[in-house]
Chain A
Amino acid sequence: MKGYMEKILLVDLSSGGMGIQDVEDRIYEDFLGGIGLGAWALSKMIPKGADPLGPDNVLGFVAGILTGTGAMMTGRWLAVCKSPLTGGWGEANCGGNFANAIKKSGVDGIFFRGRAERPVYLFVGPDGPELRDASDFWGMDAVEAEEALLKAHAGAKSPRAAVIGTAGEKLSLISGITNDGGRIAARSGVGAVMGSKNLKGVVLAGNQTVAPWDPKTIREESKAFAEKINKAQVPGILGHLTPIVGRVMAASPHTAPTDGMLAAAMLKKWGTSVNNHLGLVNGDNPVKNWLSYGDKDFNTRKAWAMGPVRMNRNQVKKYHCSACPVGCGGICDIRRESGGRFTHTHKPEYETANAFGALLLNRDGDSIYVINELLNRAGMDSISAGAAVAFAIELFEEGFLDHKDTGGLDLKWGNHRDIIRLVEKMIAREGIGDLLADGVKKAAERLGDKALDRAVLCGGQEPGMHDPRKDPMLGVLFSADPAPGKHTVGGNYIYTSLHLWEFCTWAPRLTKERLDEDYIPNDKQALKSVAMSCYKMLLDGAGGCYYCMMIGCNHWNPVPLLNAATGWERSMDEYMVAGRRINTLRQLFNLREGIDPRENFMHCRMNRAFEAGPIKGRSVALEEMVSLHWKHYGWDPETGKPTRETLEELGLMEYLQ
């Protein structure tokens, strides 16, 4: 009756042993569910120095406290592990319908250790968990494997599956875990960890009930939120006008609070593709492997093929994650675009469209659809894959790679045909594709110093497709988050719609202010980035969607929902302490694994001021801003190590190693 199940499932793939472990209330009180539960469990279970692709690593599938309770926007789940990409804390988040199935299995998380001798999958039905032979499914792409597994369990009640594709099987360090036909928990190399364990999939068909403490309040809150979303509409013509919106945004010297419900209306209509053209114009979208900006090398007036109208033109069906009234997803018919190779693909997300669009100077919209489906089926992260292709093109254009190295591919900016071929090689691990399939860092290490200079990374991970010169808080969070380079961490613009200051006593209030102030390293900006980070941890502990942050807690407030789910009577300030505790534990995990937090700072290219364009002259005072961010977290401002006082205050001393 607390929203959470008070149990986790432990699976030892080496021995085949499985067991349910009870989890005390105090763990949920301290760490919530989802990412916090994962951080607690992995800190306990993974031995220091474990090989990320070895049997000692632990891969967790976790759901948040609110997931399955009926609370809106909570259909997210996370894969957590030690990342083979960064060597530190790893996590990847995904929507769809899989998250609820974790809770219906009677647990808040499923944790795998060891390595199976042969390919297996986990099935959890009403009678409990069992490991089954997956030999027949090994070698299938992610969409085929999920379909086949669900067909094999068609007699079960509402089975849901998460699987790896061939990229995870081949231990690509930029592979993820997919569900719902190619939606992907993409980041941190979680698919490679699953592949290293010979675990092809997880099929969940439990029948447990998720019982919140106060279902009436959850129903009422959710109904009110859904009514707001249903009412929120924007005119279709706006889809054609997003470049103008972008120009206005770029021209404004001020920032001010915004109403996230209007952003929700745009997401509802076009999905994340709404930012494709708009962000290109206002300086948000990285261009030409972060070397350029829109209009310099990528004519924004000719970028309609990337815009929301074009990206939605093929949509034949909209879809929603479970418990989501927004429904930013869609299925597109791509028979023509793929030459009959594929019938459908998920509507490409903004990240994919930019990573294979402006980042590569590619304005062929058809190729984005094809690449999207190739990567979804392989189970490969489109952000990291696009970054790896951009890296290779830059090396080719500068003469460090030649046709012999590329297997005949003419890797020039915007050559979409050979970009597709390179993606196919990466998926198959053929030739240069094998080099790039482990991400930019590994490829650069193998290619030498000149390549290392061009490896645009945060720590070991390829950064998301948003330019920190446009949003300095994003630069801080790209660099300071223990899973570096993740774009779903918030930033200054998200802060304008989050309205956290209305609920958290220490989150700085935003009024109309000069944009320049966002770039000044001071206590106020640091408190904003700390508040953003703590709130994100709270959200991931609750199981909420990232777009709850964009919509704002004036519309979607986790406090009454969490209190109604658990029976607790906490304030936002108290939940923010839980967020701070979770993030501090993630930081401790990295320190334990020998990660120097300063090595996660974003690549200097991402911070080099442009001489013209929409973010002309902008750069982030990264050293000072991250130092202040750490200080306000209660971490050493020079080293990023949580202080003893902070660990004692948060009750984390037992995790210090």
Chain B
Amino acid sequence: MNIRVRVYCPSFCDYTSIDDSGHMELPAGATLSELLSRLGLSFLMRRILVVHVNGSKAPLRTVLKDGDTVSVLSGMYGG
């Protein structure tokens, strides 16, 4: 069974596995590291980037659940 995860990531990432509603489908048991890999992020990038799962910092080995939200810091604007 697959799971669906909401993904926010920088525009330089590979979006081919993200649908128009911003979701990615993954096999059950997939980890955060696997999701980031699908976004085209190298191992080094995966360790450097600020990544949250459901609003909190999470280790790369985190097993994702259906309905989770993964957010990768894209930038900042304003003030």
Question: For the complex, is B28 an interface residue (Cβ under 8 Å from A)?
Answer: no
Check if A258 sits within 8 Å of B15, measured CB to CB.
no
A252-271 interface (Cβ within 8 A of B): 252-259, 261-263, 266, 271
Check if A242 sits within 8 Å of B76, measured CB to CB.
yes
Check if A257 sits within 8 Å of B8, measured CB to CB.
yes
Chain B positions within 8 Å of A504 at CB level? none
A7 to B50, CA, bound (A): 48
Question: For the complex, is A172 an interface residue (Cβ under 8 Å from B)?
Answer: no
- Minimum CB–CB distance for B14 against chain A, Å: 10
Extra contacts besides A248-B75, A262-B50, A262-B52 (9): CB < 8 Å: A233-B56, A238-B50, A242-B76, A248-B10, A258-B74, A261-B52, A266-B76, A546-B78, A550-B78
Question: For the complex, is A10 an interface residue (Cβ under 8 Å from B)?
Answer: no
Check if B78 sits within 8 Å of A493, measured CB to CB.
yes
Point out the residue from A235, A274, A487, A512 that lies within 8 Å of B11, measured CB to CB: A512
Chain B contributes a number of interface residues (CB within 8 A of A) equal to: 23
> If the complex has contacts A242-B76, A273-B79, A349-B79, are A231 and B56 also in contact, measured as CB distance less than 8 A?
yes
> If the complex has contacts A232-B55, A261-B71, A262-B50, are A493 and B77 also in contact, measured as CB distance less than 8 A?
yes
Bitwise, B33-64 to A at CB < 8 A (1) or not (0) is 00000000000000000101001110000000
Point out the residue from A231, A232, A271, A278 that lies within 8 Å of B75, measured CB to CB: A278
Chain B positions within 8 Å of A271 at CB level? 79
Check if A274 sits within 8 Å of B57, measured CB to CB.
no
A487 to B76, CA, bound (A): 15
Question: For the complex, is B22 an interface residue (Cβ under 8 Å from A)?
Answer: yes
Question: For the complex, is A279 an interface residue (Cβ under 8 Å from B)?
Answer: yes
Check if B50 sits within 8 Å of A235, measured CB to CB.
yes
Chain B positions within 8 Å of A261 at CB level? 52, 55, 71
A385-438 interface (Cβ within 8 A of B): none
> If the complex has contacts A238-B50, A256-B11, are A274 and B55 also in contact, measured as CB distance less than 8 A?
no
In this complex, what residue of B is CB-closest to A282? B75
Point out the residue from A231, A256, A275 that lies within 8 Å of B77, measured CB to CB: A275
Chain B positions within 8 Å of A246 at CB level? 75
- Minimum CB–CB distance for B59 against chain A, Å: 14
Main secondary structure of the interface of B (DSSP, over half): loop
Question: For the complex, is A511 an interface residue (Cβ under 8 Å from B)?
Answer: yes
Question: For the complex, is A351 an interface residue (Cβ under 8 Å from B)?
Answer: yes
Question: For the complex, is B9 an interface residue (Cβ under 8 Å from A)?
Answer: yes
Can you offer 27 A-B residue contacts whose CB atoms are under 8 A? A231-B56, A233-B56, A234-B73, A238-B50, A245-B73, A245-B76, A246-B75, A248-B10, A254-B11, A254-B12, A256-B15, A258-B8, A259-B71, A262-B52, A266-B76, A271-B79, A274-B76, A274-B79, A275-B76, A275-B77, A279-B79, A350-B79, A493-B75, A494-B77, A511-B15, A512-B11, A550-B78
In this complex, what residue of A is CB-closest to B20? A511
Question: For the complex, is A362 an interface residue (Cβ under 8 Å from B)?
Answer: no
A487 to B78, CA, bound (A): 8
Check if A232 sits within 8 Å of B50, measured CB to CB.
no
A236 to B57, CA, bound (A): 13
Question: For the complex, is A509 an interface residue (Cβ under 8 Å from B)?
Answer: yes
A550 to B55, CA, bound (A): 15
> If the complex has contacts A256-B11, A258-B8, are A234 and B50 also in contact, measured as CB distance less than 8 A?
yes
Question: For the complex, is A228 an interface residue (Cβ under 8 Å from B)?
Answer: yes
Check if B78 sits within 8 Å of A494, measured CB to CB.
yes
Check if B78 sits within 8 Å of A272, measured CB to CB.
yes
Question: For the complex, is A211 an interface residue (Cβ under 8 Å from B)?
Answer: no
Chain A positions within 8 Å of B22 at CB level? 257, 511
In this complex, what residue of B is CB-closest to A487? B78
In this complex, what residue of A is CB-closest to B51? A262
- Minimum CB–CB distance for B40 against chain A, Å: 12
Check if B77 sits within 8 Å of A284, measured CB to CB.
yes
Point out the residue from B57, B74, B78 that lies within 8 Å of A256, measured CB to CB: B74
A515 to B75, CA, bound (A): 15
Check if A258 sits within 8 Å of B75, measured CB to CB.
yes
Check if A262 sits within 8 Å of B73, measured CB to CB.
yes
Chain B interface residues (CB < 8 Å from chain A): 8-12, 15, 18, 20, 22, 50, 52, 55-57, 69, 71, 73-79
In this complex, what residue of A is CB-closest to B9? A256
Chain B positions within 8 Å of A509 at CB level? 20
Chain A positions within 8 Å of B50 at CB level? 234-235, 238, 262
Chain B positions within 8 Å of A262 at CB level? 50, 52, 71, 73-74
Check if B79 sits within 8 Å of A245, measured CB to CB.
no
Question: For the complex, is A466 an interface residue (Cβ under 8 Å from B)?
Answer: yes
A496 to B52, CA, bound (A): 18
- Minimum CB–CB distance for B62 against chain A, Å: 15
A509 to B22, CA, bound (A): 11
A273 to B78, CA, bound (A): 9
A510 to B74, CA, bound (A): 15
Question: For the complex, is A249 an interface residue (Cβ under 8 Å from B)?
Answer: yes
Chain B positions within 8 Å of A351 at CB level? 79
Check if A252 sits within 8 Å of B79, measured CB to CB.
no
Point out the residue from A233, A252, A494 that lies within 8 Å of B57, measured CB to CB: A233
- Minimum CB–CB distance for B44 against chain A, Å: 14
In this complex, what residue of B is CB-closest to A491? B77
Chain A positions within 8 Å of B56 at CB level? 231-233
- Minimum CB–CB distance for A419 against chain B, Å: 21
Chain B positions within 8 Å of A275 at CB level? 76-79
Point out the residue from B11, B55, B74, B76 that lies within 8 Å of A231, measured CB to CB: B55
In this complex, what residue of A is CB-closest to B73? A262
A254 to B77, CA, bound (A): 16
Check if A278 sits within 8 Å of B76, measured CB to CB.
yes
Chain B positions within 8 Å of A546 at CB level? 78
Chain A positions within 8 Å of B79 at CB level? 271-276, 279, 349-351
Point out the residue from A235, A252, A496 that lies within 8 Å of B12, measured CB to CB: A252
A351 to B79, CA, bound (A): 6
Chain A positions within 8 Å of B73 at CB level? 234, 238, 245, 262
Bitwise, A463-500 to B at CB < 8 A (1) or not (0) is 00010000100000000000000010001011010000
A238 to B52, CA, bound (A): 15
The 8 closest A-B pairs by CB, nearest first: A272-B79, A350-B79, A254-B11, A259-B71, A259-B8, A493-B77, A256-B11, A249-B75
Check if B20 sits within 8 Å of A252, measured CB to CB.
no
- Minimum CB–CB distance for A515 against chain B, Å: 8
Point out the residue from B11, B15, B69 that lies within 8 Å of A252, measured CB to CB: B11
Chain A positions within 8 Å of B75 at CB level? 245-246, 248-249, 258, 278, 282, 493
A585 to B47, CA, bound (A): 51
- Minimum CB–CB distance for B7 against chain A, Å: 9
